[in-house]
Amino acid sequence: MLDRRTLLRRALGGLSLLAARSSAANPAAAPLRIWDIHCHLTDAPGETPEERLTAIVKFMDRMGIERVMLSLGYPLLYDPPPAQLREENDQVLRAIKRWPDRAYGFVYLNPNHLQASLDEFDRCVRDGPMVGVKLLAAKRCNAPELDPIAERAAALKAPIMQHTWLKAGGNEPGESSPYDVVELARRHPNTSLVCGHTGGDWELGIRIVRATKSLCVEIAGSNPTAGFIEMAVRELGAERILYGSDACGRSFASQLAKAIGADVPDSAKQLILGGNLRRLLTPILKAKGHPVT
């Protein structure tokens, strides 16, 4: 007869990959190293950036997440003026300084303020500790203003994480779709571009990016609808899929479940949950002197 504690442990520990991560009883299993490309200070509890990331780290510890890519401060603005852009990036810089082993920063840029954005890129990535770019919904990313940003990111091997959606009711005016990212990727084949949210409506997003081999997709910010990862692996290959959560607006849990619960090989899950992101970041991490393991 199993006692209640054993039953609970079985119920919650039936997730083989997460369980393997810390299982001393299973030393042969490859350790699962989860890196999350999509995390924000915006909805995290806390008064300061340091407090907010500390709260996030507590959730990461519960869920077995090793590292997050942090972007966006507070209040969240979709078209921030230069001063606010700088303020939000300063918040991220403060937070990652508090937790350098748990978070890297992605600089938030606004193509509607191109020179200010290029200056922020230089301040935070070229001359600072950040390792990637976050673009939200100020301007659709097929616009020519994106070209200098894409070129500068490519020069430093910094990935660009571009928010995209395909809303049944229509996107916001400055909101990109996967079609826009494909246009940008075709103009900049050497830039590491990530199609955020896989367009939300992933059955369409996957098809849109499928032929553009330089593009990766990121899985955050939508419901944990069954079949997402199976289709993505089938059509794109596991090497082009990145786990992200969009926490704290989304739970780490619901987004992790997409990869953990998918009927794909464990090797694919390893890539999606961290291997691919580490591969994308390796050049810039090496250039900045970060240990790459």
Could you say which of 107, 185, 241, 260 contacts other proteins (CB under 8 A)?
260
Do 281 and 104 meet the contact criterion of CB atoms below 8 Å apart?
A: yes
**Contact track, other proteins, 224-253, x by CB under 8 A:** xxxx-----------------x-xxxxxxx
State how far the Cα of 284 lies from the Cα of 279, in Å rounded to an integer. 10
Q: Which residues, 165 to 184, sit near other proteins by CB under 8 A?
A: 165-169
29 sits near other proteins (criterion: CB under 8 A): no
Which residue number, 4 or 144, has a Cβ lying nearer to other proteins? 4
Q: Which residues, 129 to 168, sit near other proteins by CB under 8 A?
A: 165-168
Do 137 and 112 meet the contact criterion of CB atoms below 8 Å apart?
A: no
State how far the Cα of 221 lies from the Cα of 242, in Å rounded to an integer. 12
**Contact track, other proteins, 30-69, x by CB under 8 A:** -------------xx-----------x--x--xx------
100 Cβ contact partners less than 8 Å away, ≥ 6 residues apart: 129
256 sits near other proteins (criterion: CB under 8 A): yes
Which residue number, 133 or 260, has a Cβ lying nearer to other proteins? 260
Do 246 and 220 meet the contact criterion of CB atoms below 8 Å apart?
A: yes
Q: How far is the CB of 111 from other proteins (least distance, A)?
A: 24
Could you say which of 8, 30, 83, 292 contacts other proteins (CB under 8 A)?
8
What are the beta bridge partners of residue 105?
A: 70
Which residue number, 36 or 120, has a Cβ lying nearer to other proteins? 36
Count interface residues toward other proteins (CB under 8 A): 46
95 sits near other proteins (criterion: CB under 8 A): no
Q: Where are the beta strands (DSSP E) in 12-54?
A: 34-40
15 sits near other proteins (criterion: CB under 8 A): yes
Which residue number, 6 or 190, has a Cβ lying nearer to other proteins? 6
Which segment (103-111, 173-181, 209-217, 222-230) binds other proteins by CB under 8 A?
A: 222-230
Q: Phi, psi (5° rounding) for residue 72?
A: 70, 130
Q: Phi, psi (5° rounding) for residue 127?
A: -105, -5
Q: Which long-range contacts (CB under 8 A, 24 or more apart) does 140-147 make?
A: 140/174, 140/175, 140/176, 140/177, 140/180, 141/111, 141/176, 141/180, 141/181, 141/183, 141/184, 142/176, 142/179, 142/180, 142/183, 142/184, 143/111, 145/111, 145/112, 145/114, 146/111, 146/184, 147/187, 147/188
Which residue number, 64 or 111, has a Cβ lying nearer to other proteins? 64
Give me the residues that bind other proteins (CB under 8 A), please.
Answer: 4-5, 7-8, 10-12, 14-15, 18, 43-44, 56, 59, 62-63, 165-169, 200-201, 203, 222-227, 245, 247-254, 256-258, 260-263
